[in-house]
Amino acid sequence: MGYYFISIGGSGAKVMESLTHLCNAGVMPNREKLNVLAIDPDVGNGNLERTSAALNNYDVFQNLEVGNDTPLFKTKVSLIKPFPWNPTEHDKNLDDLMGYQTCSGTPLGILYEVLYSRRERSTTLNEGFRGHPSIGAAVLARKYALPDENSVQWTEFIDKVRQDIGSGDDVKIFLAGSVFGGTGAAGIPTVARLLRNDLDKYKERVSLGCGLILPYFNFTVPEDETALFARSENFLTNTKAALKYYSQKENVFNRMYFVGDSLITPVKEFSPGATTQKNDAHIVDLYSALAAIDFFSQAADGSREFKYICRNESNRFMWNDFPPLREKTDNGEREFSLNERFVKFTRFIFAYVHMIKPVVRELAAGRLPAYQYPWFVDFLKDVDLNSAAVKNFEDYTESFVTWLRQLETAQGRDISLIKYSMFTDAPAKLTRPDDFKSCDGQETDLTLHELWYRISEPFNIDSSVNGFGKFLRRLYEACEVSTKV
């Protein structure tokens, strides 16, 4: 099976960020590689930048040898590069991209003037489609009809899909983006139709799914702001129109997931785009990423289903509010809960940033005697601690903690997953080490002292697992717990 994920716009990038962390935690259905394409004209978008950093860090350290019999880092991710795909050009507006000067005064040019306002036509698109999906749909469709050097990622994506099909694999492609903004609202239906057109020959082998993000945030626009941009007061109207469109006209998807929140979260600081647009992670992003995983888990039989996800309490999110996950094993398929894998991974990350990373840095600098740390002598004495893989893993742990803290502190929501009060996020470190044993609210027998003893004990594993990956595998396995009654 070939897995493909396409993020479209800022909301899609935030879903991709959550999906990256879930892949690292080992919750995908099997070990298939996940091919990732990001589409966003606002290449400097802060949300996309944060997601790209996590993915690029993972791209460097994901080949660490941890073994094939562990869920840790089991999903390999392949980025369609350059990453992301910008379907526009720098400092271009809609007139430039549509070639308006060549048809000005003609019937086609007059029709174009009727369809788009002067401001829509003259605003540069470096920061996205500004909440106007009609602009994005035209640009994306044009890039497909008139391919150029900016379309190389699309060509590479389609070629990868065809190669998978040629190898005998079925393919599942999941798109994620909002229905109420500009890039996602324009991109999801347009890209889906382009996929169906390009892959029509293989339609029985390709399944399309989408995660449609409904409104869950708003923002206040400065009074002196006159530029073209998305306005949150239009979100509900845009959503209503989009849902009507999907219910009546859009039938290219095998599976559709609608994810939103009845509680609207205010954005901390207004930004029309670029690096200042850094919206915090949200529970909606996590559910949308889980929707992608659910889609990848389903049989590619062309069936259509309608499902609802409910939670026990209206204003609180707990582990039992998430649907069960599935994975393939040597004996068939098994179900497991999200917290079964995610909490262990979280302990693993926090154990590293709080207990291991500071010691490793001091040992690498020669400021500590190695003999006091048996786990270092056993696993790391011959490892280059300044290698790209080690440094990128350490950078990734910081991004994971930042993401998790934002997720846990969503304004107005009680997110009862991991105790956010026990850790800082810059740099990542436990503020209350005694809470490590009960990081998800369940009392266990695993303290940091116990973990120290565990990783210092002999560890027998396949000889093919070595280097820094062997140590990470040891630390991960040592984070297994039994819950106290």
* pLDDT value of position 56: 86
Q: How confident is the model at residue 145 (pLDDT cuts 50, 70, 90)?
A: very low
DSSP 150: G
Tell me what pLDDT residue 485 has: 43
With bands split at pLDDT 50, 70 and 90, how would you rate the model's confidence at 307?
low
In the chain, the percentage of residues whose pLDDT exceeds 70 is 81
Find the range with the poorest average confidence among 312-316, 387-391, 451-455, 481-485: 481-485
Q: Which whole number is the average pLDDT over 422-426?
A: 79
User: Rounded CA gap, 45 and 36, in Å?
Assistant: 17
Provide the β-strand partners of residue 282: none
Structure confidence at residue 392 (pLDDT): 92
**pLDDT of 88 over the 80 cut:** no
Report pLDDT for 345: 96
Q: Which residue matches tokens 């899909």?
A: 161
What is the structure's pLDDT at 150? 54
Full-model pTM: 0.85
pLDDT (tens digit per residue) in 197-212: 889 898 889 999 999 8
pLDDT at 425 over 50: yes
Q: Give the phi and the psi of residue 463 in degrees, each rounded to 5.
A: -65, -15
**Residue 353's pLDDT band (boundaries 50, 70, 90)?**
very high
| Residue 249 contacts residue 294 (beta carbons within 8 Å) | no
* Of the candidates 2, 9, 7, the residue with the CA atom closest to the CA atom of residue 33: 2
Report d(CA 332, CA 261) in Å as an integer.
Answer: 36
Report pLDDT digits (tens) over 234-277.
666 777 777 777 777 667 888 889 988 877 776 665 444 444 45
Range of 93-102, 330-339, 397-406, 453-462 with top mean pLDDT: 397-406
Share of the chain above pLDDT 90, in %: 28
Please indicate whether residue 153 or residue 14 has the higher confidence score (pLDDT).
14
> What mean pLDDT value characterizes the chain?
81
Distance between CA atoms of 169 and 172, rounded to whole angstroms?
A: 10
CA 346/CA 234 separation, integer angstroms: 38
Average pLDDT value for residue range 48-58: 84
Q: Tell me the C-alpha to C-alpha distance, in Å, between residue 144 and each of 73, 141, 153, 194, 285.
A: 35, 5, 12, 8, 29
Residue 451 has pLDDT above 50, yes or no: yes
List all residues 6 or more positions away from 270 whose beta carbon is below 8 Å from its beta carbon: 219, 220, 221, 222, 225
Lowest model confidence (mean pLDDT) among 380-384, 406-410, 440-444, 477-481:
406-410
What is d(CA 106, CA 99) in angstroms, rounded to the nearest whole number? 12
Q: Is the pLDDT of residue 423 over 70?
A: yes
Write down the pLDDT at residue 270: 45
* Amino acid identity at 390: V
- Cβ partners under 8 Å of residue 136, min gap 6: 41, 129, 182, 183, 185, 186, 187, 190
Strand 423-425 to 428-430 pairing: antiparallel
Rounded to 10 degrees, the C-alpha dihedral 279/281/283/284 comes to 50
CB 219 within 8 A of CB 268: no
Q: 125 pLDDT band (50/70/90 cuts)?
A: low
**Res 191: pLDDT:** 86
Read off the pLDDT band of 229 (50, 70, 90): low
Pair 415, 270: CB distance under 8 Å: no
